[in-house]
Structure 1
Amino acid sequence: MSKRVLVTGGNKGIGLKVVERFLELDYEIITVARNYDGFPYKDNKNITTIEYDLSDVDGLASLAKEVGDIDILINNAGYMQPKYTYNNYPKEAKEHIMNVDLYAPVELINLFSEGMKKRGFGRIVNTASIAGQIGHPDVWYGIAKAGLINATKIYAKLLGSEGITVNCVAPSAAETDMQKDNDEARKAAFKAAVVTNRFAEPKEVAEAIFWLATDCPEYINGITIDINNCFYPR
Structure 2
Amino acid sequence: MGKRILITGGTKGIGLETVNQLIDRGHNIIVIGRDFSKFPFENSGQVKTIAFDVSKVEEIPALVSEIGEIDVLINNAGIAKAVSYFDYTPEQKEHIIKVNLDAPVTFIREVSRYFLKKGEGRVVNVASQAAQVGHPDIWYGITKAGLINATISFANLLGEKGIAVNAVAPGPVSTDMIKTAPPNKRLEQVLHRTYLGRAATAAEVAEVIVWLAAESPAYVNGEVININNGVQYVKNIL
- TM exceeding 0.5: yes
- List aligned pairs for 1:56-67, cutoff 5 A: 56-67=56-67
178-187 vs 201-210, which deviates more? 178-187
CA distance in 1 between partners of 2:50 and 2:86 (Å): 36
CA distance in 1 between partners of 2:146 and 2:23 (Å): 30
Is 1:79 aligned to residue 84 of structure 2?
Answer: no
Per the TM alignment, residue 66 of structure 1 is displaced from its structure 2 partner at its CA by: 2.1
What is the aligned partner in structure 2 of residue 116 from structure 1?
115
What is the aligned partner in structure 2 of residue 135 from structure 1?
134
CA distance in 2 between partners of 1:225 and 1:148 (Å): 13
1:81 and 1:181 in contact (8 A); partners too:
no
Per the TM alignment, residue 161 of structure 1 is displaced from its structure 2 partner at its CA by: 1.2
TM-score, with structure 2 as normaliser: 0.94
**Unmatched tracts of structure 2, length 5 or more:** 234-238
2:2 and 2:25 in contact (8 A); partners too:
no
Q: Render the CA deviation track for 1:92-150: whole Å, top value 9, x for unaligned.
A: 11111111111000000000011011111101000000000111000000000000000
CA distance in 2 between partners of 1:210 and 1:19 (Å): 9
Is 1:219 aligned to residue 198 of structure 2?
Answer: no
Per the TM alignment, residue 189 of structure 1 is displaced from its structure 2 partner at its CA by: 2.8
**Unmatched tracts of structure 1, length 5 or more:** none
Structure 1 residues 153, 121: closer, same or farther in 2, change over 3 A? Answer: same
What is the aligned partner in structure 1 of residue 37 from structure 2?
37
CA distance in 1 between partners of 2:58 and 2:23 (Å): 31
Per the TM alignment, residue 180 of structure 1 is displaced from its structure 2 partner at its CA by: 5.4
Q: For 1:128, give the aligned amino acid.
A: A
- List aligned pairs for 1:48-59, cutoff 5 A: 48-59=48-59
- Structure 1 stretches of 4+ with a deviation exceeding 6 A read none
Q: For 1:130, give the aligned amino acid.
A: Q
Instruction: Report SS of the residue matched to 2:184.
Output: helix
64-73 vs 180-189, which deviates more? 180-189
Task: Count residues with an aligned counterpart.
Answer: 232
TM-score, with structure 1 as normaliser: 0.95
